[in-house]
Every structure is written in C-alpha cells, then in structure tokens.
Structure 1
Amino acid sequence: MVAIVTGASRGIGRAIALDLAAAGFGVGLLARNGERLAQVAAEIRAAGGECAVATADVTDAGGAADAVTHLEGALGPTTLLVNNAGRIDAEVPLWEADVEQWRAVIETNLIGSFHVSRAVVPGMVARGAGRVVELASGAGARDTVVTSAYTDSKAALLRQVGHLHEAGFDLGLRAFGLAPGVVVTDMTSSMRQHEGRTDFTPVERTCEMIRAIATGELDAFSGCYLRVTYDSPASLRARLEKGALPPSARRLLIAPWGSDDPHGDGFTPVR
C-alpha cells in the first residue's frame, strides 16, 4: 500500500503521513519545504516506516508531475492520495481582499489539488483501483463573511470529489471530501476567528478516518462530504446498517425553495 500526502511537512499533513506510515503504508511526502520534509521522513524511518520525499510546489503542474513520478518510482503505484496542501487568505470580505493573495490561495488549494490528482489518478484508473481524499472544510459547505478564496476553493474541492466519483466509480476510483474540523495548526493559530477557542478537533480523528477510507470500509461514502467533528468510522458504519444512502446524501447541491422548484430536485448520480 502506497499513499502520497501533499502538504506533509507540517500540521495535519504531517500527522496523516506519520499515522499512515505507522499503519504500514509506504508514504510519499510532498511539500515545498525540503528541510521540514526531511524531519518528517526521519521520524518515519526511526519508527521503522517506509517513505520517500519529493520537494515541489503543487501549483506547478510540471513540478507536481515530476514529484509523483519520483515518489512512485521509489515506493510503487499509489493506492491512496491525500490532497492536503493548502493555505488561507486574510480574514476580510471579498472587496477588501488582496488580489494576488486571493489568486494564490485558489492556485494552491484547488489548482494544486488538480495538478497532483491529474498526475496520480490515471494510474489508479489503469489499475482499476484507487482512493482520493480531498481535505475540505466546513467553511466550504456554508456561506461565510471572510476568507472568500479559502471557502470558494474548499467548496470547489467538494465538487471535484463529486466529479471524481461520477467519472471514476465504474473504473474503480473512490473519492472523499473530508473536513478535519478546527485543528491546532500554525494556520488556525494565526486566525482572529479562533482567538480564545478551546474546542479544537483532535487531529487523530482525521487520521482515523483516512485509515478507514484506505482500507475500503467506507467506500459506500465515495462522493460524499465527511466531517470528523461529527463523523467517525464507527458512526458511518452504523449509518450504513440502516440501509442505503439517499442518492443526494452529503453531496454539494442547490437546495430548492419548495416542491415547485426544479433546482436541487431529481439528483441522479452515476452511483
């Protein structure tokens, strides 16, 4: 089993990489900061795990593709891709946003994810199996008053999850949007909206969910938005015991204003 984790040099990505390595995955570590990646790799190897390192900026399509080629050359074909690399913009409304910063957030969170997926997914499809996890956010599932680039990009990732599911399900591909809650990281610690916050979500919940996804036990939730603050592998298994999910469950939709409104009704996914 081989996993590639982007943004693996710190925060949630680092925790995911360490956890997957401890679970027996060969882990491809991808991030911009080579020094920090080397530290994560040293931790994994000291614990007896297997990993490979590639330094790249996911916003560079060629660099991302080269990184994937290097990691798969060292570890073997990717069975799990965790698109975690991301950044956030200033906590201001759209009309006060810095143009270059706004663009950079979209390029990292959304286009960067596309670049890595575009490099990894063809191999998964050719082999008839593979799982992609997009680190989404609760902010992408609702309207907010600040950080418009971040929320726009995270909403788009949920739509990308749906696309991968619809286009790839019959080819063996499974895709998941996973919101990690508010985890203590450098990013959240710098945000005004989290000043004084005490109810952080343990990163271990995200790691547990990704491990469950990697084993295939949550494949019934492919295409769906999962949020570890409220969901767990156990709660999702319990939900499946109640019967099949409604076709539109946990999908990004437009809610109709009533029974006479066609928008949001008649959702007919491939699976």
Structure 2
Amino acid sequence: MRSNGWAGRVRSPLPAWCRVVDLGGQVALVTGASAGIGRRLTEGLAVRGVTVAGVARGGERLTRAMAEVADVTGGRTLAVPADVTDRAAVEAAMARVQEECGPIDLLVNNAGLVDAAEVSLWEADPDQWWDVVESHVRGALLVSRAVVPTMVARSSGSIVNLASGSGLRARPEYSAYSVAKTGLMRITEALAGSLAGTGVRVFDLAPGVVETDMTRSMAMWRGKTDWTDPDLVVRWVVAIAEGQLDQWSGRFLHAAADNVDVLARVDGLNDDARRLRLCEWGPEDTFRR
C-alpha cells in the first residue's frame, strides 16, 4: 500500500459470489468499511469498476481491508480512517476523498454500533447507549452533509442508509439500536424530501441478518444458521447505483425479503408506502396527520 492510502493490486480468481456489472467511472464512499457488510460492499463495488473509499475508526484494520479488496478485485481503493461522529474528522476525510477520488456518486452510511448488553433501557449504561445512537444518527448526518452539496451541484448521486427491522418495531433489549435505526429512517425521508428534483436519491436498505462480528456478538442470534447472504446486499446497492430503484427514494427496502426485479417495475407509489407512519386505531380515531 502506498503511503497515501491508495491500493490497486491484482490477484485472481474473483470470488464466486460476484455477479459483475460494470459501474466503471463511479466513486463510492462506504463507512464502516473495515469489516462485516461494509467490507463486503467495498469488494462488491470495486470488482464492478467502482473507485471505493472506505472509512472506519481503526486505521490499521481499515488499511489492511482496503488493500485486500484491491488485491482480490484489481480495483482502486482508498483507506480514510475517521470517526464518523467527529465533525472535524468527517469534514477532513470527505475533503480528502473528493480531492483524491473525485466527486462521490454513491454514499453508503453503514457504520454503527449496537447495545453492549441485552438489558432494559433503565439498566443500560447511558454513555454506551448514547454512543450507539450517535454512531448511526450523528454519523449519517455528518457524512451526508459533507457529501450532499457536491451531489446536488452535479444533479446526481445516491445515498444508501443501512436500515434495520429494529427501526420499524422497537426491541426492548436493544433499545439504543432501535432508536438509532428509527432516527436513521427519518433522516432518509427528510433528505429525500429536501432533495426532490435535484437528481439525488436516498434509500433505507435493511440487509437482513448477515453473519458479522456484530451479529455474532448479539445473544438473540446465538445458534442461528440461516444467515442472509451478503451478496444480496451487494446486489441491492448495485441496483441503486445503476438507477433501477429511483422511484423508491425516501423509502424502506429489505434485501432479504424484497426482490430487486419486482420493485424495479413498481410505479405510482402512494405517499405512505414503505415509510414510518402512525396507524389509526380504528374508524373512530379522530387523529389525522
């Protein structure tokens, strides 16, 4: 790896899960890129010709991961260590990515923590609880605000926020994660509304339950064997990057439950489709939005 963080080596063969679609010329930024879903996304994008900048807190682990991706795919990667909750660090990182890679076409807000223990809200450590919320919500806020202006200026760009079913329905034992993912979904809808007509689109994408260090650490998944194939998540992000799902901007997609080809053909969505809404309790409910 060169001292500036770039990697671009070649090794074969490519992983069997890769379905190669040429996205050459695009630049992607993936947060939480050193492991898990983020690491798999960097590889899935790089093998399709995307220049991929990876962001994560641990510089050594991130640099190693981006070098491995370059080795496997022959793609161009850039390791940019930064804490997504640190405003100055994020702004410096985004400036570096855009200077060395060019304008960002695709942003994937994937970084985020999970509750340290399966306990009720009042039993949780308040500092760790808040760290979880900040990692998802403040992280997505800071990275998005640093990237969106250039996308708007170019009238083009896609943002994918890694959502979760926990954002739709609270899990008492993972209250911080549930609050964080619900907040992230509101960021998606707010962004999509403000970006209407600009050519920039924003999506919530729930990956399903992919086997990662984080999911293996969660007691609720102990003994699980039917994990979601991470290549499904790659396929959805690629479809978004290709513009197949533009009509779903501001809405919730699920990599394991939905079908890309089906959703790509959907037209005429109503305002509430796949968005967080309060349901009426019955015909006599007097509250209306």
TM-score class, shorter-chain normalisation, is over 0.9
Equivalent of 1:235 in 238, 255, 262: 262
- TM-score when scaled to structure 2? 0.88
Structure 2 equivalent of residue 96 of structure 1:
123
Structure 2: which amino acid aligns with 1:258? G
How many residues are paired up?
A: 262
Q: Which has the higher helix share?
A: 1
Aligned pairs (5 A) from 1:127-206: 127-206=154-233
> Identity over the aligned pairs, expressed in percent?
45
Query: Does the Cα contact within 8 Å between 1:178 and 1:228 map onto a contact in 2?
Result: yes
Distance 1:54 1:230 in 2: 33
Alpha-carbon shift at residue 107 of structure 1 (Å): 1.2
Structure 1 equivalent of residue 105 of structure 2:
79
2:50 is the counterpart of 1:50: no
Equivalent of 1:254 in 278, 281, 284: 278
Distance 1:51 1:260 in 2: 57
Structure 2: which amino acid aligns with 1:86? G
Distance 1:5 1:229 in 2: 20
Distance 1:209 1:154 in 2: 19
Alpha-carbon shift at residue 33 of structure 1 (Å): 1.2
Query: Does the Cα contact within 8 Å between 1:138 and 1:179 map onto a contact in 2?
Result: yes
Alpha-carbon shift at residue 43 of structure 1 (Å): 2.1
Judged with a 3 Å threshold, the aligned counterparts in structure 2 of structure 1 residues 262 and 7 are, in CA distance, closer, same or farther, namely: farther
Structure 1: which amino acid aligns with 2:130? R
Give deviations 1:7-30, integer Å, cap 9, x for gaps.
000000000011011111111111
Give deviations 1:63-95, integer Å, cap 9, x for gaps.
011101111111100011000001101211111
Query: Does the Cα contact within 8 Å between 2:67 and 2:77 map onto a contact in 1?
Result: no
Query: Does the Cα contact within 8 Å between 1:28 and 1:54 map onto a contact in 2?
Result: yes
Structure 2: which amino acid aligns with 1:143? A
Structure 2 equivalent of residue 269 of structure 1:
none
Structure 2 equivalent of residue 66 of structure 1:
92
Structure 2 equivalent of residue 268 of structure 1:
none
2:40 is the counterpart of 1:15: yes
Structure 1 equivalent of residue 50 of structure 2:
25
Judged with a 3 Å threshold, the aligned counterparts in structure 2 of structure 1 residues 40 and 262 are, in CA distance, closer, same or farther, namely: farther
Distance 1:259 1:51 in 2: 55
Give deviations 1:110-157, integer Å, cap 9, x for gaps.
101111111111111111111110001011111222111110000111
Query: Does the Cα contact within 8 Å between 2:33 and 2:62 map onto a contact in 1?
Result: yes
Distance 2:118 2:29 in 1: 31
Structure 1: which amino acid aligns with 2:68? E
Structure 1 equivalent of residue 245 of structure 2:
218
Alpha-carbon shift at residue 262 of structure 1 (Å): 5.4
Judged with a 3 Å threshold, the aligned counterparts in structure 2 of structure 1 residues 262 and 85 are, in CA distance, closer, same or farther, namely: farther
Equivalent of 1:2 in 27, 30, 34: 27
Structure 1: which amino acid aligns with 2:84? V
Distance 1:66 1:88 in 2: 26
Greater alpha carbon shift after TM alignment, 37-46 vs 245-254: 37-46
Structure 1: which amino acid aligns with 2:182? A
RMSD between superposed Cα atoms in Å: 1.3
Unpaired segments of 5 or more residues in structure 2?
A: 1-25
Alpha-carbon shift at residue 264 of structure 1 (Å): 5.8
